[in-house]
Amino acid sequence: MKVLVTGANGFIGRALCAHLRAAGTALRAAVRAVVPPLPAGERVPADYVAVGGISGETDWGAALDGVTHLVHLAGWAHDGGASRAEAERLSRTINVEGTARLARQAAAAGVRRFVFLSSVKAAGERSGALPLSESSPPVPEDPYGASKLAVERMLGDLAGGGMETVILRPPLVYGPGVRANFLRLLRLVDRGVPMPLGSVRNMRSLVYLGNLVSAIEACLVSPAAAGETFFVSDGEDVSTPDLIRRIASAMGRPARLFPFPVRLLRLGFRLAGRAAEFGRLADSLAVDATKIRAVLGWEPPFTLDQGLRDTVDRYHRAQKR
């Protein structure tokens, strides 16, 4: 087995490549530039290959040479700074057209299995009283989620050909080096900033980076994964206040939460043009990840608390540099 990983210098890609190398897996790591940004002191591995920008015109030939299995992580991620029109353009060009180009060339090159990292956003932004499952009707709400769903359907059309496809839908991914909203939450807890979220009653699924990498590996090697779509999570859902308390515990700090009417908070965020941001804090978005356990026999090797401790430890080390 020789595995091509796209997006190899990203948050998930770096962890997956390190895991596969440690396991002795033959690897090729695709990046956009010859020298990807790496932490200080780390060398660019010899198995990196540059493919340039991703679109419907990308030539993946050199990256695919001799590859039998592929994990596609590269893509445009949702960015709150982009306009709706720009988000639609980038998600269509990079995520949909770029992946379609890769899938066609991979099939022609004889790749046997294509693992696509989709997102919970392909299914929707909230779960309500019951967690989302693979059979839930998909209701993506932004261009990023819509693009992930479009790719899922495109890969589904390839079923029955010579290349097997597997789709993995993670919720929020956290771990060492996490950025964006989770990093902001770490900073708020670390600084002891009081947060008016004590009255929030929701349930959110998360997946620790080490668990996600383990699940990707299972999707690469398990014969039962062919043609399947899986949600993946840590297996323990938490409310936003409970997550803050557990981060605070891992930091050895108090959780500075106080109650405040949720409907007033929601109104305030909406008036400030930040309704989606508040939804990520207060709405439920839980997934049912029992299918991957039942079909692949996969179990997350790390608990939520272990993942949070690892994330906090790396965060603290980064603060001391």
Query: What CATH number did the domain enclosing 149 receive?
Result: 3.40.50.720
Q: Could you identify the residue written with the tokens 């010899």?
A: 46
Residue 250 lies in a domain: no
Query: Angle formed by the axes of helices 143-157 and 98-108, to 10°?
Result: 20
Residue 43 lies in a domain: yes
Residue 30 lies in a domain: yes
Residue 34 lies in a domain: yes
Residue 191 lies in a domain: no
Q: What are the φ/ψ torsions at residue 303 (nearest 5 degrees)?
A: -85, 165
What average pLDDT is seen over the chain? Answer: 92
Its domain, for residue 44, covers 2-169
The pLDDT tens digits of the residues spanning 197-209 come to: 999 999 999 999 9
The pLDDT tens digits of the residues spanning 169-213 come to: 999 999 999 998 899 999 999 999 999 999 999 999 999 999 999
The one-letter amino acid code at 131 reads P
The reported pLDDT for the residue numbered 240 is 97
Quickly list DSSP for 99-167.
HHHHHHHHHHTT--EEEEE--GGGT-S--TTS-B-TTSPP---SHHHHHHHHHHHHHHHTTTSSSEEEE
- Nearest to residue 74, comparing CAs of 95, 91, 56? 95
Quickly list DSSP for 15-32.
HHHHHHHHTT-EEEEEES
The reported pLDDT for the residue numbered 161 is 74
Residues recognised as catalytic:
144
- pLDDT of 262 > 60? The answer is yes
- Mean pLDDT of all residues in 153-157: 89
Contacts of 157 (CB under 8 A, 6+ apart): none
- pLDDT of 39 > 80? The answer is no
The reported pLDDT for the residue numbered 34 is 57
Identify whether the C-beta of residue 2 lies closer than 8 Å to the C-beta of residue 28: yes
What 3-state class would DSSP assign to 173? Answer: strand
The reported pLDDT for the residue numbered 82 is 73
Residue 201 lies in a domain: no
Rounded Cα–Cα distance for residues 264 and 109 (Å): 56
- Mean pLDDT of all residues in 279-293: 95
Residue 218 lies in a domain: no
The reported pLDDT for the residue numbered 219 is 98
Total number of residues shown for the chain: 321
Q: What is the DSSP letter of 225?
A: G
Rounded Cα–Cα distance for residues 52 and 31 (Å): 7
Number of domains the chain contains: 1
Residue 317 lies in a domain: no
Rounded Cα–Cα distance for residues 62 and 217 (Å): 23
Strands (E), the chain: 2-6, 26-31, 48-50, 69-72, 113-117, 164-169, 172-174, 206-208, 229-231
Identify whether the C-beta of residue 56 lies closer than 8 Å to the C-beta of residue 34: no
Rounded Cα–Cα distance for residues 101 and 220 (Å): 21
pLDDT grade for 83, boundaries at 50, 70 and 90: confident
The reported pLDDT for the residue numbered 129 is 84
- pLDDT of 23 > 90? The answer is yes
